[in-house]
Structure 1
Amino acid sequence: MRLDQYDEGNDRQWLGLGLQGLAPYWFELDVTAYVGDNGRTALAAEAEYELLLTQRLILQPRAELNLYGKDDPENGLGSGLSDLALGVRLRYEFNRQFAPYVGIEWKNTYGSTADYRRAGGDKPADTQFVAGLKFWF
């Protein structure tokens, strides 16, 4: 299940079916297909890879894309390839359960989604610096 909530626009509920796992050469993949109200469809895909620089220092390139089957002007989403994000994160694992990271991510929108962003006064592309903490227990 997926719920998209918007400050401006219409909230969307989706039913999803996905696959997650390791592809050849140890790429982690996550692909999910979604079906929503009024025949709306979407596809989300993510891929990432971990490069061990040392036993504790890990560089993680990643990519994410979203595709939609129908235009959704209320929420500023166009059909086809909506957005693509490419990024890289560098993390230091103090141990497997605790690892802070820093990174950068470039995100670009395409087609009608980019047109909706421009019409709303936003840029179709964005760069973000990220920092966080990966942990589990």
Structure 2
Amino acid sequence: MAAKPAAAQEESDAWRFSGEFDLLELRAGKGDELFIWDATFSLGNDTDQVMLTTSGGGALGNQIDEVDAKLLYGRTIGAATLLVGVRRDIKPHSDWHAAFGLQGTLGTRLDWETYLFVAETGQVTGEVQAIYDLPITQVLHLEPRVKIAWSAQEHLAEATRPGLAEAETALRLRYTLNERVNTYAGVVHERLLGGTRRLGRQQGDALDSTMALIGIGFNL
């Protein structure tokens, strides 16, 4: 393979900062109103990155119920990035996890990521997510998204049993305002799965929910 021009090499090797709030949204359904966020901040080049991700949310008008953050080192090889670092659950419990992940793209429209977490107590959990970007017009995009969480062991403190634990499917219609800001609306469906669903039924917990959503995304 021919070497890149010097200018291209310098641009590729230069470290730069980027930040993105992918989700900053309100959800409503069956009398419940929630807000959530999902943000990523990165410092690095085309090969090496240090990333901080944070997500969480809670009932609108009340205190934040869930917050977690991940500090990761990423190494990009081809179309995939290997990730290793730590995850800190701040709410509802204060726990540390070792975090291992892999993320990448298939073609130009499908983004995917998968994580494995090992808690201080030895519990192993994980999640996988896929996001598809379907252009309708130059500024209007349809975005289906699927996320599935699983657990290797039973964890009664979080009402989780081994196997697939929870799934979230969403459909968002994004409108691009400019190169940094977009707005969107859509619907999200969450449901418990497998043994976790049976445990939730025994405890009288909500087994699934469907909510309308509106939000904004932006790049820093």
The TM-score normalised by the length of structure 1 is 0.89
- 5+ unaligned residues in a row in structure 2: which ranges? 1-85
Aligned to 1:59: 142
Aligned to 1:2: 87
Q: Partners in 2 of 1:70 and 1:47 — Cα distance?
A: 24
From 180, 193, 198, give the equivalent of 1:110: 193
Can you list the C-alpha shifts for 1:19-72, whole angstroms capped at 9, x where unaligned?
A: 111024631001111111232111111001111100001100000000111110
Can you list the C-alpha shifts for 1:67-111, whole angstroms capped at 9, x where unaligned?
A: 111110111111110011111000100112010111111111112
From 106, 128, 142, give the equivalent of 1:23: 106
Within-5 A mapping of 1:120-135: 120-135=203-218
- Cα deviation for residue 129 of structure 1 reads 1.6
Aligned to 1:72: 155
Q: Partners in 2 of 1:67 and 1:96 — Cα distance?
A: 36
Aligned to 1:85: 168
The TM-score normalised by the length of structure 2 is 0.57
Q: Partners in 1 of 2:161 and 2:215 — Cα distance?
A: 31
Structure 2 contact 109–134 (Cα < 8 Å) conserved: no
Q: Partners in 2 of 1:60 and 1:108 — Cα distance?
A: 20
Aligned to 2:180: 97
Using the aligned pairs only, state the percent identity.
Answer: 25
Q: Partners in 2 of 1:13 and 1:116 — Cα distance?
A: 25
Q: Partners in 1 of 2:109 and 2:158 — Cα distance?
A: 36
- 5+ unaligned residues in a row in structure 1: which ranges? none
How many pairs align? 134
1:14 aligns with 2:97: yes
Aligned to 1:36: 119
What's the RMSD between the two structures over aligned residues? 1.6
Structure 1 contact 73–116 (Cα < 8 Å) conserved: no
Rg (Cα) greater in structure: 2
